Chain A
């Protein structure tokens, strides 16, 4: 589905040039469950951003369903992200001023659907992550694990076929981390949603189909 070919990412600031990724070849198939591991600063987030069409590679090609995305304009990329990709972040990134249900609705705002339909879909997603009774709470009224579940609901509300999770359990204790992991596994198995997860936890990585290891921007396994 998403395929990276000889991808290189270089950050240029005034004088310093940082090579964040070198010569990455990676294919994420429909229904795959991948984990990405590596020490801090090795380029994991960068890789995820490239797969999420949030960033463009300096060299190499990113293909979506076989088509190179390089020449696509931002608007088209935004629409693709909206329809096909869901994101989960280490620090949740919920909007503190919005209730759970409004947070979960966000991806649907950028589609054409009625308010009632959006609300129903959002509530179903919240139900799906087991927070049905918290739909009208604010993020600050929830525990870290619950907040991350809201983030999962938000990521899946639009029924994407690719979930990108950047250290989704990084800020959670191992028990809550396991819960999130269970959720991701279920989604992967029940709906065939492809999942790519960055993690520092060997145990969690062990539960995925395949682990990609990065070191200093290079793919070592």
Chain B
């Protein structure tokens, strides 16, 4: 039975190459886009190196001071982080580091633009960087503001094309940093570990940053487990509620949250509520909505194509019914045909995805992106397509199964 149906399914598809092409294109293109998009998402949010503890890490990168008439928001500064974020309960390790800043390095007579981050030593303990040479910034380097630096692979190859970089100097804004480590490149989408050059938090010309309430710093909190998130956030909220807000004549409350990367993305992409909480639900709804819409298009296309094939195959339906096929049998046959089409489309989609993902990686839109076709994502995509194949096949199959065999077979009506 199955082989008979499969044979027919392939024949039918081969007989109408144009329709088949349109359907296959819809399916495989959809899958490819889906897989590429999720590869990027996975790359941005998945627990990849160096963020191996991402599932129990929170970030605090945004502080709002709010009053009747004025508001000030942006990255927090040292004073705020030390006063309110340091020593929260359930935190195994806390790191403070700066936002990346574009600087220029002068080497071998050339000027290179680099992203520089200042970090403490804990940063290197939370993040599992892959060291190609040397090691991380040490506690003593940070305490003493030593002019040392860790650079990434690309930067090493640019600045020291002749080989090792260890113990050699990078000249940045008139300051010479001695290279103590070289790490593998980290993608731009991993905003917290991403940089080209890392130097001690304290390696600055002035110590003014240590007096700032708002500044250019982020905190990374490695919790003991996800269960610690709740108490940790509650304590932070309590501390902020009880705090003396700076400039009380202008501001009457202080808002800051320890967030997961997806929550940060929600705040950046969609926005936040009156209390500064990120619109996570909305971003989720947006993504799911986009996904559904995106999957719906090829389904509608499939429904169309399938429906137009019904009339052509009316005699077959009539014959099968006359010879004992129940509506059930016909429904099954037609859904199977749709499934075959979808699976062929899925296979093409996988191929296309590999090319698409490589193409996106090759454009360099995302620095140091190491995009992978995620088979898990692909499997989900195929599941969706199968679901939609069933849905899109159901209506035409239902119409097909309901055709009146008596009318079809009368002979004259054809």
Interface residues of chain A, those whose CB is within 8 Å of chain B, are 45-46, 49, 52, 54-55, 74-75, 78-79, 81-83, 86-87, 89-91, 93, 95, 97-98, 102, 105-107, 109-111, 115, 154, 158, 166-167
Contact = CB atoms under 8 A, between A and B. Distances in A.
Given A54-B405, A75-B326, A110-B325, A93 B11 contact: no
A95 B316 contact: yes
Contacts of B316: 93, 95
B377 to A, nearest CB: 36
A78 B325 contact: yes
A107 B405 CA distance: 15
B145 interface: no
Contacts of A87: 319, 322-323, 409
B322 A81 contact: yes
Interface string B1-28: 1011001100110010000000000000
A78 B326 contact: yes
Nearest to A80: B324
Contact of A110 (B8, B324, B412): B324
A54 B322 contact: yes
Interface of B: 1, 3-4, 7-8, 11-12, 15, 315-316, 318-329, 404-406, 409-412, 414
B4 A102 contact: yes
Contact of A89 (B3, B326, B327, B409): B409
Contact of B323 (A45, A49, A97, A110): A110
Nearest to B414: A91
A89 B11 CA distance: 24
Contacts of A111: 324
A35 B337 CA distance: 40
Contacts of A89: 409, 411
B326 A54 contact: no
The 5 closest A-B pairs by CB, nearest first: A82-B324, A97-B11, A55-B406, A107-B323, A110-B324
Contact of A49 (B7, B11, B410): B410
A164 to B, nearest CB: 9
A90 B414 CA distance: 11
A102 B326 contact: no
27 contacts: A45-B411, A46-B406, A49-B406, A49-B410, A74-B327, A75-B326, A75-B328, A78-B326, A82-B323, A83-B324, A86-B323, A87-B319, A89-B409, A89-B411, A90-B411, A91-B411, A95-B8, A95-B319, A102-B8, A105-B4, A106-B320, A107-B323, A109-B4, A109-B329, A110-B324, A158-B323, A166-B411
A102 to B, nearest CB: 6
Given A87-B323, A107-B324, 7 more contacts: A87-B319, A87-B322, A93-B409, A97-B8, A97-B15, A106-B319, A115-B1
A16 to B, nearest CB: 16
B318 A93 contact: yes
A103 B19 CA distance: 24
Contacts of A97: 8, 11-12, 15
B315 A93 contact: yes
Contacts of A83: 324
Of A52, A78, A91, A98, which is in contact with the most chain B CB atoms at under 10 Å from its CB? A78
Given A87-B409, A89-B411, A93-B318, A81 B324 contact: yes
A178 B324 CA distance: 29
A49 B405 CA distance: 9
A95 B313 CA distance: 9
Contacts of B318: 93
Nearest to A9: B406
Of B4, B12, B318, B406, which is in contact with the most chain A CB atoms at under 10 Å from its CB? B406
Contact of B321 (A78, A102, A154, A167): A78
Contacts of B324: 78-79, 81-83, 107, 110-111, 158
Contacts of A75: 326, 328
Nearest to B324: A82
Given A45-B411, A167-B411, A52 B8 contact: no
Contacts of A167: 411
B409 A98 contact: no
Contacts of A102: 4, 7-8
A54 B324 CA distance: 10
A49 B411 CA distance: 12
Contact of B410 (A45, A95, A158): A45
Of A86, A106, A167, which is in contact with the most chain B CB atoms at under 10 Å from its CB? A106
A134 to B, nearest CB: 18
A109 B407 CA distance: 23
Contacts of A109: 1, 4, 325, 329
Contacts of B412: 45
B15 to A, nearest CB: 6
Contacts of B7: 98, 102
Contact of B329 (A91, A110, A154, A158): A110
A98 B7 CA distance: 8
B323 A154 contact: yes
A54 B320 CA distance: 12
B366 to A, nearest CB: 48
Nearest to B411: A90
A109 B8 CA distance: 13
B243 to A, nearest CB: 74
Contacts of B322: 52, 54, 81, 87
A49 B15 contact: no
A101 to B, nearest CB: 10
Contacts of A52: 322
A139 to B, nearest CB: 11
Of A52, A89, A115, A167, which is in contact with the most chain B CB atoms at under 10 Å from its CB? A89
Contacts of B326: 74-75, 78-79, 110
A90 B410 CA distance: 9
